[in-house]
Every structure is written in C-alpha cells, then in structure tokens.
Amino acid sequence: MKKITAIGFFLFSLSMIGAQTIESGSRSTTGYIKPDGTIENSSRSTMGYIKSDGTIENKNRSTIGYIKSDGTIENSSRSTVGYVKKDGTVENSSRSTLGYIKDDGTVENSSRSTIGYAKGIRKEWAAVVYFFFKFN
C-alpha cells in the first residue's frame, strides 16, 4: 500500500513540474499555466489553452483569440483587442494602457497597483489571462 501511495504521489508531482502559478494581488493562487499552454483554475480544472502558434482556446477547444508574434492580441474574429509591448506594457485596441507585466512577473493595472503575480509566465500569456479573456 505504501508503494502505491508513493507512486501516486510521484506521478502527481510530475504533473506539477513546470506549471507556473497565477496569483492575485494578495498572493492567493487563482490558477496555473503549464508549459504546454494549458490554463487551469485553482482547483486544477482546465479553463483554456494557449497553443504554440498563438491560438487561444476556451476549455471546449473553441478558438477565442490569437496572440501574434508582434504582441498583438486578437479576438476570434481577428479584430485587435490589445497589444503587449516588449517592455510589458499592455494596451487596449485604442492604445490606452491597461496595465503592465514586469520582468519579475508582477502584474500591475494602469495606476501601477499590483493586481497579480505571474512569475515565469510569458508576458503575452499573462496579459491574456489578466486583461483580455475570461476562461469560464
């Protein structure tokens, strides 16, 4: 029985390797993003996907948007909803600043108040999760 429990724990631990935590401003875990782009809520239920080609999908695998290589974020109709600049500035389609993704993973709103933490997560992916798309 101990071996089965140990093996189960080991396999569970392997599934957690590489998953980056998404946190609120108060540092409570709100979700995870796995290296393969799977987005999970705090209960580990899949909420969406960001594919290697930039396609953003909801949990049912329907396309809800795109991340282009230049940082442009589009909805499913290919209309621009925002931009993520190389310096981490996040803008809406009118180029108004929505917030910032800092190099250390701190996510700030336009007033520079911390709204979350996404350490180790690509800036574009963090922007999608915090500013552009809801994964319900």
Residues 14-43 pLDDT 10s? 344 468 999 999 999 999 999 999 999 999
Which residues are CB-contacts of 133 (< 8 A; sequence separation ≥ 6)? 48, 56, 64, 65
User: What does residue 6 show for φ and ψ, rounded to 5 degrees?
Assistant: -65, -40
Residue 59's contacts (CB-CB under 8 Å, 6 or more residues apart) are 45, 46, 47, 48, 135
Q: Give the pLDDT of residue 135.
A: 63
Sorted by where each begins, the domain ranges of the chain are 20-132
- Calculate mean pLDDT across residues 41-70: 96
pLDDT, one tens digit per residue, over 60-110 is 999 999 999 999 999 999 999 999 999 999 999 999 999 999 999 999 999
> pLDDT grade, residue 3 (50/70/90)?
very low
Query: In the block, which residue shows the tokens 């695998």?
Result: 61
Eight-class DSSP state of 16? H
CA angle, residues 91, 97, 101, in degrees to nearest 5:
75
